């Protein structure tokens, strides 16, 4: 009886050791598969950017004949950049894009943070619930649905198109819903009301409490909203093309259409213009990237 029991225990130990041996192997295989999938996705996403980089220093003939080669038959050239900047009036359109993007992003962040704070700290107000529900509902409406009425009303009736301020306010109006939603989650889950109560005991007003206590703690969410909205405003083509008519008001995405002709397109100039347009957003993301993940997850429900 004791011998049988010992054999049973030994067999169980062998089975257990085998199962433990299989687990690390399974984890290694899963890790390798995950790395392969992520590598394929990374290559798929980075391939267009790499093509721009290797072709922007070629002549038009070399881009057409050998787009995948690192260096064309005519060698390495910088001519695409000055030619593109001159043809699109780069510094003018860059200034327009910078003014619109910075103004709209700052207004969106400030107005959304304040609106979300009022909604979160006044849950008993029926108006707060209705306003927040309307903001969330507005996010599902595609821009193309209101595109024609927007131009008809603001252009034909009010006559306020062809102004940078109009474009800035429209950008703010279309982006504030998502921003309020993100700030709402961050304030509700990450900022305890006790901090504000302590500030009020020290004599701080609601306005001072928000700017000195609440807003500094929203740094990850501010960075995330800034990245999302700045990229959207900077790269937007459709709305500026509807609002801005005069050439001197063009932003960078609209100005790139000068490179597209009826019968031919100078691909080298297009790629140079696209690379110049990408650089400011890439630099901004490099400075704020460490806050982005924290900002996206800051509104999650904590266990």
Is residue 283 within 8 Å of 231, Cβ to Cβ? no
The full DSSP string for 53-120 is: HHHTTS-HHHHHH-TTSSS-TT----THHHHHHHHTTHHHHHHHHHHHHHHHHHHHHHHHHHHHHHHH
Sequence spans of domains, the chain = 2-55, 85-297
Is residue 146 within 8 Å of 233, Cβ to Cβ? no
Q: How do residues 102-159 score in pLDDT, each as one tens digit? A: 999 999 999 999 999 999 988 888 888 898 999 888 888 888 888 888 888 887 777 8
The residues pairing with 260 across neighbouring beta strands, listed in sequence order, are: 265
Q: Could you tell me the two tokens for 94?
A: 């860059």
Q: Is the pLDDT of residue 163 over 60?
A: yes
Q: Is 226 exposed, middle or buried (0-12, 13-18, 19+ CB in 10 A)?
A: buried
CATH superfamily label, 85-297: MetI-like (1.10.3720.10)
Q: How do residues 201-256 score in pLDDT, each as one tens digit? A: 888 888 888 898 899 989 888 988 998 899 999 999 999 998 988 889 999 989 88
Q: Is the pLDDT of residue 171 over 90?
A: yes
CB-based contacts of 50: which residues, under 8 Å, 6+ apart? none
**Cβ neighbour number for residue 143 with a 10 Å cutoff:** 12
């Amino acid at each position: 009886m004791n011998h049988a029991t010992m054999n049973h225990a030994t067999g169980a130990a062998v089975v257990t050791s085998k199962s433990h041996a299989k687990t690390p192997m399974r984890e290694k295989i899963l890790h390798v598969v995950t790395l392969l999938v992520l590598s394929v996705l990374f290559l798929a996403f980075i391939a267009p950017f790499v093509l721009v980089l290797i072709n922007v220093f070629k002549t038009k003939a070399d881009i057409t004949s050998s787009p995948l080669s690192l260096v064309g038959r005519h060698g390495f050239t910088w001519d695409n950049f000055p030619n593109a900047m001159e043809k699109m009036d780069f510094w003018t359109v860059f200034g327009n894009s910078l003014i619109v993007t910075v103004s709209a992003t700052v207004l969106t962040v400030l107005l959304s943070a304040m609106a979300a704070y009022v909604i979160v700290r006044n849950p008993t107000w029926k108006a707060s619930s209705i306003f927040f529900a309307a903001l969330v509902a507005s996010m599902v409406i595609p821009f193309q649905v209101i595109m024609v009425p927007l131009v008809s009303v603001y252009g034909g009736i009010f006559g306020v198109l062809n102004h940078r301020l109009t474009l800035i306010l429209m950008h703010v109006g279309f982006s504030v819903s998502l921003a309020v939603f993100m700030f709402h989650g961050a304030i509700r889950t990450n900022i305890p009301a006790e901090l504000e109560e302590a500030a009020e005991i020290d004599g701080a007003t609601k306005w001072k409490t928000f700017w000195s206590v609440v807003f500094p703690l929203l740094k990850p969410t501010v960075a995330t909203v800034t990245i999302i909205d700045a990229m959207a405003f900077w790269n937007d083509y459709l709305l500026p093309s509807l609002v801005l008519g005069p050439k001197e008001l063009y932003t960078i995405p609209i100005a790139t259409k000068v490179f597209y002709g009826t019968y031919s397109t100078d691909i080298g100039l297009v790629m140079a213009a696209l690379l110049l347009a990408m650089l400011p957003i890439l630099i901004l993301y490099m400075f704020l990237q460490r806050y982005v993940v924290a900002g996206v997850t800051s509104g999650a429900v904590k266990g």
